Amino acid sequence: MGKLLVVALVGIAAALVAERLVAFRNRLNASREVAPVSLPNCRLIKGIEAGSEDIDILPNGLAFISSGLKYPGLKSFAPDKPGEIFLLDLNEDNPRAVELRISRGFDLASFNPHGISTYVDKDDTVYLFVVNHPHLKSTVELFKFVEDDNSLVHLKTIRHDLLTSVNDVVAMGPDCFYATNDHYFSDFILMFLEMFLGLTWSNVVYYSPKEVKEVASGFYSANGINISPDKKYIYVADILDHNVYVMEKHANWSLTHVKMLQLDTLVDNLSIDPHTGDIWTGCHPNGMKLFYYDPENLPASEVLRIQNILSEEPVVTRVYSDNGSVLQGSSVASIYGGKLLIGTVFHRALYCDL
Ligand SMILES: [Ca+2]
Ligand SMILES: [Ca+2]
């Protein structure tokens, strides 16, 4: 009887693990391959070799790019080099990546930038919020951009118990923002277990110096976050649920669910066309290839444009796709002046005509 019980328990455990494994593979889109979609005049940006995870473009065409992310389980082509913020002037015919100098007093050696967001104040001061993972912890760094000097002045480091595993931020003012936590846990093993078991413990947090609170929860892994041009709606990508949520923003900064748009790819960061309100996303068609890097089987890239997300029938267009031979692991796509700039988690950055 004892042996029968052991066999039964082992059988049940094996069935549960197998069921979780199938669900995990589905969340990673492990069997998806993509057909290529090309764009004219694509060129790789010189000087960006180790990632361009997030991009934020100012109305005047200056693009900030975060580079050099080191993240548990993800490839890095420059594991010993600190991260950087690059600036690209998209008004130039052949924009060059210029590394922004960071003011003294900031710990550059442990700089590990991830999601970014800009805020232009009434007096035209440009603030740059940068998710940072020094020693694999999570902070949000606030900088002031000094254009004449191609530099960033560090203003403060924001840490909070609710900012545990931050992926991206969207600035709401010179000192407040919404942030996504892509996992509940920050420890790598627990993070993996959280993903493998399919726990929906990831959330969105509002931060200001006066108030910090959870404003949305129940995500498999909340990743990119951005705001509609009319400032009424917040968009959040759930990378492991392959969708984009639309939430209404209220005067007290709380968010309420409006709708969800289901896609078939792992949606990373979200950029907004300030003129049309279209959402541009950098996506991972197959998360297995991203997390288990194999030079013989490269992670692909995919860019989607989502038009009229609030309407009954949003239009989703695959604007660009590549099997990794040109661009690996696209995480963001932003447009300016009829051109598309695509960033990646750990690879290069591509600039194409539309
Ligand atoms: Ca961002
Ligand atoms: Ca991201």
Q: Which whole number is the average pLDDT over 187-192?
A: 91
pLDDT at position 101, please?
98
Residue whose entry in the numeric block shows the structure tokens 């007093």: 105
Q: 72 falls in which pLDDT band (50, 70, 90)?
A: confident
Distance 256 CA to ligand 1 centre (A): 21
Of 219, 300, 215, 292, the C-alpha closest to 252 is 215
Span 122-157, pLDDT tens digits: 999 999 999 999 999 999 999 999 999 999 999 999
Span 5-46, pLDDT tens digits: 999 999 999 998 999 999 999 999 998 998 999 999 999 999
Q: Is 269 annotated as a binding residue?
A: yes
Distances from the Cα of 197 to the Cα of 22, 27, 92, 293, angstroms: 11, 11, 48, 22
pLDDT at position 78, please?
93
User: How many helices and strands in the chain, by DSSP H and E?
Assistant: 3, 25
Sort 259 into a burial class: Cβ within 10 Å, 0-12 / 13-18 / 19+: middle
Quote the tokens at residue 211. Answer: 């108030």
Q: 2 falls in which pLDDT band (50, 70, 90)?
A: confident
pLDDT at position 1, please?
66
Tell me, yes or no, if 114 is annotated catalytic.
yes
The full 3-state SS of 247-310, as one line of letters, equals: EEECCCCCEEEEEEEECCCEEEEEEECCCCCCEEEEEECCHHHHHCCCCCCCCCEEEEEEECCC
Grouping H, G, I as helix, E, B as strand and the rest as coil, residue 94 is: coil
Phi–psi pair at 272, nearest 5 degrees = -115, 135
Furthest C-alpha separation in the chain: 80
Distance 180 CA to ligand 1 centre (A): 10
Distance 60 CA to ligand 2 centre (A): 24
Span 278-324, pLDDT tens digits: 999 999 999 999 999 999 999 999 999 999 999 999 999 999 999 99
**Residue 332 bridge partners (DSSP):** 343
Tell me the CATH number of domain 32-353, given options 2.120.10.30, 3.50.50.60, 3.40.605.10, 3.40.50.410.
2.120.10.30
Average pLDDT in the chain: 96
pTM: 0.96
